[in-house]
């Protein structure tokens, strides 16, 4: 006989009553994760460097419970914008329970031609993730609430890439990207052990190969050759992982890196 106070699986994954701040929700993967969180009942606060784009993205999200998603201007690469944007998010939404650090200012140069300026600029993504995570931690502690931070990493924060996958098609995957994503995974572990006593969980969700239609011709086929599942990921395949880490279904999980990579890092 099951205990009367044991939550059901449906209750564990239900995000009704939760507010999620997600950056980069207008992007290829961010959009899918944001839709999954909204479909699970969460109210979204969508951030973008451009306020109009944020509001447009928020208006296009599913809203099964008519909670009213919000768009705010926030550039995670600029400290002043983080301060102002988070304050606006709290003012408009009230309580924020979950942060999904998904925004990414990309870098195009590989190890052959990356400048010091471009390399350092890309590492600023990790700085922004930390500053936003600390804002969420301070916010929920102030309200004596629980919080969940989800960093978006990458399989390339765990393993190196295959040079032959890119040869003759495009630049190698940027060394600054590998460095930044690897650092985010360890940042996750570090913050998790310090914030556990504050009832704030910190985990990382690391996608594997999910090239969009804008990827160079032939790249998906090359990458598929290195995947145990023999194919690329579909954005919708990140929905479940995002909801899992945001919800009470993962209430005893912190400091972990969840790879959604079709087995890529299992080789």
Which sequence positions are flagged as catalytic? 154, 177, 181
d(CA 6, CA 22): 30
d(CA 19, CA 98): 6
Phi/psi region, residue 254 (left: phi>0; alpha: psi -120 to 50; beta: rest), is beta
Cβ contacts of residue 232 below 8 Å, gap of 6+?
209, 210, 211, 220, 223, 224, 262
Instruction: Tell me the helix, strand and coil percentages in the chain, rounded to 5.
Output: 45, 15, 40
Q: How far is CA 216 from the centre of its chain?
A: 24
Residue 36's closest CA among 212, 208, 235, 203?
A: 235
d(CA 44, CA 148): 14
Give the helix/strand (H/E) hosting 9. Answer: helix 9-13
Question: Quick one: how many helices (H) and strands (E) in the chain?
Answer: 9, 7
Q: How far is CA 79 from the centre of its chain?
A: 19
d(CA 262, CA 73): 34
- Judge contact between 223 and 172, C-beta under 8 A: no
In sequence order, the β-bridge partners of residue 205 are 152, 258
């Amino acid at each position: 006989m099951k205990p009367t106070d044991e939550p059901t699986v449906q209750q564990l994954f239900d995000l009704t009553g939760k507010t999620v701040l997600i950056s980069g929700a207008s992007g290829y993967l961010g959009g899918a994760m944001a839709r999954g969180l909204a479909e699970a009942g969460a109210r979204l606060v969508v951030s973008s460097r451009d306020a109009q784009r944020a509001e447009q993205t928020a208006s296009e999200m599913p809203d099964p419970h008519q909670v009213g998603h919000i768009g705010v201007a926030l550039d995670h690469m600029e400290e002043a914008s983080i301060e102002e944007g988070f304050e606006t998010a709290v003012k408009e939404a009230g309580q924020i329970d979950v942060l999904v650090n998904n925004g990414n200012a990309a870098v195009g140069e590989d190890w052959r031609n990356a400048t010091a300026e471009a390399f350092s600029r890309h590492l600023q993504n990790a700085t922004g993730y930390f500053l936003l995570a600390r804002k969420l931690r301070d916010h929920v502690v102030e309200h004596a609430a629980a919080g969940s931070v989800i960093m978006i990493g990458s399989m390339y924060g765990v393993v190196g890439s295959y040079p032959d996958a890119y040869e003759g098609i495009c630049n190698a995957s940027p060394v600054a990207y590998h460095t930044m994503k690897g650092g985010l995974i360890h940042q996750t572990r570090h913050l998790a052990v310090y914030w556990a006593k504050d009832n704030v969980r910190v985990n990382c969700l690391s996608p594997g190969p999910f090239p969009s239609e804008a990827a160079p011709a032939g790249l998906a086929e090359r990458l598929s050759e290195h995947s145990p599942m023999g194919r690329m990921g579909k954005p919708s395949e990140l929905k479940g992982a995002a909801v899992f880490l945001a919800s009470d279904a993962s209430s005893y999980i912190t400091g972990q890196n969840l790879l959604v990579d079709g087995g890529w890092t299992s080789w």
